[in-house]
Structure 1
Amino acid sequence: MKRLLLIPLLITSQCTWAQTPESSLRPMERSGGTGVQSVQVAPSGAISQPARDIGDDEVRERGGLFKSLRPLFRSGKDEKVGRAERKLRAKGAVCGDLSIQGETVGAVDGRIDACGIENAVRVRSVSGIALSQSALMDCTTASALKKWVEGSAKPALSKTGGGLKGLRVAAHYICRTRNNQAGGKVSEHGKGRAIDISGFQLANGSEISVLQGWSAGGTSKVMRRMHGGACGPFGTVLGPDADRYHQDHFHFDTARYRAGTYCQ
């Protein structure tokens, strides 16, 4: 009989002992004014740390999420291009081309709405050929000038006076109408897309002007070769045969027409 009485006591003791720390983590119900809440009790020996909210000031100090992610969005190619551009500028290059020397100007506002240049550069030399005055233009026009100098002007004068040394610039950026005619459309000069060349300086110190060289026996062929070579790099090419306004210079601009290059 005594043995039978010990069995319930043993069972009760084992059930109490079977409770583990894991079972104490079960949510407990608490009645409150807003309903039932679940509370999780930390296991024995755990260190409890108070919750900490990050304020707006600290978020600003840290720079926010995108500050830490910024390097992930930066392209290695972009960084390399940026370094290359800075090196070129340090050497006097503009338009990302070492053969076009000058300085970056930026936006140029004209006297009227139709004038101005969004990203202007002031060019002083192209492919080693000096300009008589620094010329203000956009990079499209500067690149076209370089292409013409290398592909036409230099080769045409390679056997004359020791070769080409400089270009006589008659006009570059200026806010005016075409041929300075009242009521006319704004010239490409007023948009930074044009340059006028009136003469060619040679290595031996001499100079050939468009006015005199166009019809002269010894230079006529060379002049026409340079004039024709500009058709393509530039959208508009005008010379002494175009009209009375261009008898003493070549007009080059990068305007494009539906019919293609206008060359006269």
Structure 2
Amino acid sequence: MITRCWIAALSIVGGASMGIAAPETSLRPASRPAAKVQLAVLTVPVTANPQVRPKLRPVSDQILSAAARPADLPALGPIQSLRPTLRPDSVVEQALFKRRRLRKGSVCGDISIQGDKVGTVPAKQSGCGAQNAVRVRSVAGVTLSQPAVMTCETAQALNIWVEKGLQPAFRRRNQVVSLRVAAHYACRTRNNQPGARISEHGKGKAIDISGFTLANGELVTVAQGWSAKEFSKRLRKAWSAACGPFGTVLGPEADRHHRDHFHLDTAEHRGGPYCR
């Protein structure tokens, strides 16, 4: 048994020393005969003619147009393009004169609010009267059917509503050009009811709007337009937009006293704007 183990070990050592070599020292495979290589090349099918070149891409219309352009035609790049003609001095002067006139006729520190200063409105009875009141003729380029007396706070709210709420509610090509004023400052009770509290009209904080004149001359009244198919959506949108700039917004659905106009005032309420 011991003899067999020694014989196996000697055979392994002998084999390692005689015939087994590392990969880097092993013999390379013999080269193929040249005749076989040529035969393999000849048997490969030829699918393309080496003498035929790929077709050139067609010339674009842009290159043809550039080539056909006359050489003496000047370039019209952005730098070399003609500049717009300057406005005549008369146009500039008219714009400055108009702005100067608007600034002169503005009140409440806003050129968009045109009117006259009134100052203190005396109170005919307790609870009425206004301080630093103004008589507004137009707001945001929209004229009032009659000059309306109110405080600057109310005038500013009216200006914001007309510009950002009323005009967007109507078509851009047929904007509102005039407001029909139903009531403004008046020393009276709410809804003219005996014994009621003094209305915001008696404090210069309210204005009633009963209709709108459009750029095409059409008059849209609150009484008729509120339920009309053509203007109902626009009037409701305009009414909703007033809730925010004004503290109180009443319309045809509020009560029977406001079925034909919008009542807008700047009274403050604890729960926020009151809109019905």
TM range (shorter): 0.5 to 0.7
TM-score, normalization by structure 1: 0.65
Mapping for residues 226-241 of structure 1, pairs under 5 Å: 226-241=238-253
Give 1:158 shift. Answer: 2.5
**Structure 2 residue 141 is the aligned partner of structure 1 residue 128:** yes
**Structure 2 residue 270 is the aligned partner of structure 1 residue 258:** yes
Deviation readout 1:48-94 (Å, 9 max, x if unpaired):
xxxxxxxxxxxxxxxxxxxxxxxxxxxxxxxxxxxxxxx78862000
**Structure 2 residue 218 is the aligned partner of structure 1 residue 214:** no
Deviation readout 1:6-47 (Å, 9 max, x if unpaired):
xxxxxxxxxxxxxxxxxxxxxxxxxxxxxxxxxxxxxxxxxx
Cα separation, 2, equivalents of 1:192 and 1:115 = 8
* Bigger strand share: 1
CA contact (8 A) 1:88 1:98 kept: no
Cα separation, 1, equivalents of 2:101 and 2:238 = 29
Secondary structure of 1:91's counterpart equals helix
Cα separation, 1, equivalents of 2:133 and 2:172 = 35
The one-letter code of the counterpart of 2:104 is: K
**Structure 2 residue 258 is the aligned partner of structure 1 residue 246:** yes
Deviation readout 1:113-171 (Å, 9 max, x if unpaired):
200001100000001000000000000000000010011111111347x2111000000
**Structure 2 residue 179 is the aligned partner of structure 1 residue 167:** yes
Cα separation, 1, equivalents of 2:109 and 2:101 = 7
CA contact (8 A) 1:126 1:145 kept: yes
Cα separation, 1, equivalents of 2:232 and 2:206 = 24
Identity of aligned residues (%): 60
| Number of the residue aligned with 1:111 | 124
**Structure 2 residue 212 is the aligned partner of structure 1 residue 200:** yes
Give 1:110 shift. Answer: 1.9
Gaps of 5+ in 1: 1-86
Cα separation, 1, equivalents of 2:163 and 2:122 = 31
CA contact (8 A) 2:145 2:180 kept: yes
**Structure 2 residue 171 is the aligned partner of structure 1 residue 158:** yes
CA contact (8 A) 2:212 2:219 kept: yes
TM-score, normalization by structure 2: 0.63
CA contact (8 A) 1:88 1:96 kept: no
Question: Highest CA radius of gyration, 1 or 2?
Answer: 2
Cα separation, 1, equivalents of 2:217 and 2:260 = 20
Secondary structure of 2:229's counterpart equals coil
Change (3 A) 1:114 1:89: farther
Secondary structure of 1:224's counterpart equals helix
Change (3 A) 1:105 1:88: farther
